[in-house]
Amino acid sequence: MVQTEIKSKDDILGRARVRDNAELQAYYDDLAKFETGALWTVANAIEPWEPTPKSAPVLWRHSDLREQVLRSIDLVRPEDAGRRVVYLRNPKRQDVSAACGWLFSGIQVMKPGEKAGAHRHAASALRFIMEGKGAYTIVDGHKMELGGNDFVITPNGTWHEHGVAEDGETSMWQDGLDIPLTNCLEANFYEVHPNDYQTTNIPLNDRPLSWGGAGLRPEMDKWDKPYSPLMRFAWEPTYEALQNYAKVTDGSPYDGVMMRYVNPQSGDNPMLTMGAHIQMLRPSEHTKAHRHTGNVIYHVAKGEGYSIIGGKRFDWKKNDIFCVPAWTFHEHCNKQEREDTCLFSFNDFPTMEKLGFWAEQALKDNNGHQIVAE
């Protein structure tokens, strides 16, 4: 068989470029009988030139979701649902229930007096509080009160339950978990607490009260766990830190004024597999585009603006959620001329870094800005 000339990027030495014929087909059929295959039939697909994410960039609008999430209150009880959550579904990742990449995300709602039982799992979790008063979470016996824009972690393997005080308000928060990643690695376990709920003698808010002081380490708080002893990062000091940092930095050309939530004892990410950031875009700031490995799910904490992700523009405002899939160019813009806007985000960067997969690239063309598809 004479090879006809093809002008694909793969038609070079070092790429699989075997032309099909009847003899080869018969050979492939025989290989299949023995649960085998010829590598060159799949090589170019399984060894792409660069990451080819299946996830699409998606914007989930709070104005669409809030009402739908509230509807679930009258439809299911947390006792029956386990967790009353509306999850975010990326169109081509429905098979793994991923919001983006190997990350899961959902919006959980609870009304005053409700409590969801304790369980634990191998997947790590985090929450970003959207609205309500009196919500709490208990993580391995550490009970923490939760307020708007607080960020709280549930490291892998820790017992956790949530609820809202009788005299509180209906509360809503975004959950982020690496459930799809843990399942992809076939490492997930799930266990229900033997007593349904945790009993604890640990003082209320002991984690933030011990470790929430900026630059101060509590001498008697011995902590040898592989995750942050500070489990709740309150919004007020976070926003204050951002504002202070903004006074002395130009910020990143790609991310504006950006700060990473860290374990105050080690300086590492708060949990082993997922990281989180808070970033501020100054009035009218428009960042340049870059891309990197790792997936990011953003939550608009303050203000309004838009992001261009993979050449598509997404306009967002407070409590909207959007995602940036791996290796997809993205840039952000604060539409407001007088106010700053703040984006909370969580990611799988710690996993990427530990596995040696971190890569990043700035957009070179067009002065670092993408061309927006109409």
Chain positions contacting ligand GTQ, by CB under 6 A:
83, 85, 106, 108, 125, 160, 162, 175, 177
CB of 83 to ligand GTQ, least distance (A): 4
User: Smaller CB distance to ligand GTQ: residue 85 or 257?
Assistant: 85
b/e 324-348 (16+ beta carbons within 10 angstroms → b)? bbbbbbbbbbbbbeeebbbbbbbbb
User: Smaller CB distance to ligand GTQ: residue 162 or 277?
Assistant: 162
CB of 274 to ligand GTQ, least distance (A): 13
User: Smaller CB distance to ligand GTQ: residue 13 or 75?
Assistant: 75
User: Smaller CB distance to ligand GTQ: residue 117 or 310?
Assistant: 117
CB of 81 to ligand GTQ, least distance (A): 10
CB of 70 to ligand GTQ, least distance (A): 16
CA 174, CA 249: separation in Å to the nearest integer? 30
User: Smaller CB distance to ligand GTQ: residue 198 or 334?
Assistant: 198
User: Smaller CB distance to ligand GTQ: residue 125 or 281?
Assistant: 125
Q: Which residue is nearest to ligand GTQ (CB)?
A: 175
User: Smaller CB distance to ligand GTQ: residue 170 or 287?
Assistant: 170
CB of 180 to ligand GTQ, least distance (A): 11
CA 39, CA 61: separation in Å to the nearest integer? 44
Q: Would you call 307 exposed, middle or buried from its count of C-beta atoms within 10 A (0-12, 13-18, 19+)?
A: buried
CB of 85 to ligand GTQ, least distance (A): 4
CB of 181 to ligand GTQ, least distance (A): 13
CB of 337 to ligand GTQ, least distance (A): 37
CB of 137 to ligand GTQ, least distance (A): 8
Over the chain, what HEC string results? CCCCCCCCCCCCCCCCCCCCCHHHHHHHHHHHHCCCCCHHHCHHHHCCCCCCCCCCCCEECHHHHHHHHHHHHHHCCHHHHCCCEEECCCHHHHHHCCCECCEEEEEEEECCCCEEEEEEECCCEEEEEEECCCEEEEECCEEEEECCCCEEEECCCCCEEEEECCCCCCEEEEEEECHHHHHHCCCCCEEECCCCCCCCCCCCCHHHHHHCCCCCCCCCCCCCCCCCCCCEECHHHHHHHHHHHHHHCCCECCCEEEEECCCCCCCCCCCCCCEEEEEEECCCCECCCEEECCCEEEEEEECEEEEEECCEEEEEECCCEEEECCCCCEEEEECCCCCCEEEEEEECHHHHHHCCCCCEEECCCHHHCCCCCC
Are the CB atoms for 324 and 295 separated by under 8 Å? yes
